[in-house]
A and B are shown apart, each in its own frame.
Chain A
Amino acid sequence: MNIQIVGTVEYVDIGTGAWAIAADSDQQYEILQPAPSELLQDGLKVSVTATIRDDVMSMAMLGDIIEVIDFQVL
Chain B
Amino acid sequence: MKKFLLCCLFFAGLFWALSNYQGLAVNGKYDSMVLNFRDSLSPAQVDRELKAIASKYGIEPKFNSAFSKGDNLYIVKGDAQVLEQFKQSEELRNLTEYVEANYVYSMEFLDSTTPNDPRYNEQWNLKAIEVEKAWQKTKGKGIVVAVIDTGVSRVEDLKNTNFVKGYDFVNDREDASDDNGHGTHVAGTIAQSTNNNFGVAGVAYEASIMPLKVLSGSGGGTISDIAEAIIFAADNGANVINMSLGGGGESKLMQEAIDYAYKKGVVIVAAAGNSNRNAAFYPARYPKVIAVSATSATGEKAPYSNYGAGVDVAAPGGAIARGKDGDSAGGILQNTIDPSTKQSVFRAFQGTSMASPHVAGVVALIEASGVKDPEKVFQILKQSSRKVSDDTLNYYGAGHLNAAAAVNIASQGQLGIPDFLKWARDNGYLSPRFWVDGGAVALIPKLIMVIGSYLLAILLNRWFPFRWNWAFSNGVFFGGAGLFFLRGFYVFDITQLPFRIAGSSLAELGNAFSNTNALNPITASVLLPLGLLLILLGHPQWKWFAIGSAIGTSACLATSAVLAPQMMWIGEGSPAIAFLSVNSLLCFGFAYLSIKSETATI
Interface residues of A (CB under 8 A from B): 12-16, 18, 28, 32-34, 54-65
Contact = CB atoms under 8 A, between A and B. Distances in A.
Given A16-B339, A28-B275, A60 B219 contact: yes
Given A16-B180, A16-B349, A61-B247, 6 more contacts: A15-B185, A16-B150, A33-B220, A56-B220, A57-B222, A65-B248
Contacts of A54: 247-249
B549 interface: no
Interface in B250-272: 251, 271
Nearest to A13: B320
Nearest to B220: A58
A10 B349 CA distance: 18
B221 A61 contact: no
Chain B: interface size category: 35 or more
A57 to B, nearest CB: 4
A57 B216 CA distance: 11
Contacts of A13: 320, 322, 350
Given A13-B322, A13-B350, A58 B219 contact: yes
Nearest to A63: B275
Given A61-B245, A61-B246, A56 B274 contact: no
Contacts of B223: 55-57
B69 to A, nearest CB: 60
Contacts of A57: 215, 220-223, 226, 245-247, 282-283
Contacts of B382: none
Contact of A14 (B180, B185, B221, B274): B274
8 contacts: A15-B349, A16-B181, A58-B219, A59-B182, A61-B247, A61-B306, A61-B353, A65-B247
A29 B585 CA distance: 103
Nearest to A28: B275
Contacts of B245: 57-59, 61
Contacts of A55: 222-224, 249, 251
Contacts of B249: 54-55
B182 A15 contact: yes
A58 B349 contact: no
Nearest to B215: A59
A54 B320 CA distance: 29
B244 interface: yes
A12 B304 CA distance: 10
B166 interface: no
A42 to B, nearest CB: 12
Nearest to B223: A55
Given A59-B150, A61-B247, A64-B248, A14 B351 contact: yes
Contacts of B339: 16
Contacts of A59: 149-150, 180, 182, 215, 219, 244-245, 353
B352 interface: yes
A63 B277 CA distance: 9
Interface in B202-228: 215-216, 218-224, 226
A48 B275 CA distance: 20
Contacts of A61: 245-247, 271, 273-275, 281, 306, 351-353
Contact of A62 (B149, B216, B274): B274
Contacts of A15: 182, 185, 219, 244, 349-351, 353-354
Contacts of A12: 274
Contacts of B248: 54, 63-65
Closest 6 CB pairs of A and B: A54-B249, A33-B218, A57-B247, A61-B273, A61-B246, A63-B275
Contacts of B181: 16
Nearest to B294: A14
A54 B249 CA distance: 5
A23 to B, nearest CB: 12
B275 A18 contact: no
Contacts of B304: 14
A65 B222 contact: no
A30 B149 CA distance: 18
Interface string B73-103: 0000000000000000000000000000000
A56 B170 CA distance: 13
Nearest to B178: A16
Nearest to A29: B275
A16 B244 CA distance: 12
A16 B306 CA distance: 18
A56 B247 contact: yes
A33 B353 CA distance: 19
B98 to A, nearest CB: 63
A56 B221 contact: yes
B25 to A, nearest CB: 56
Contacts of B247: 54, 56-58, 61, 64-65
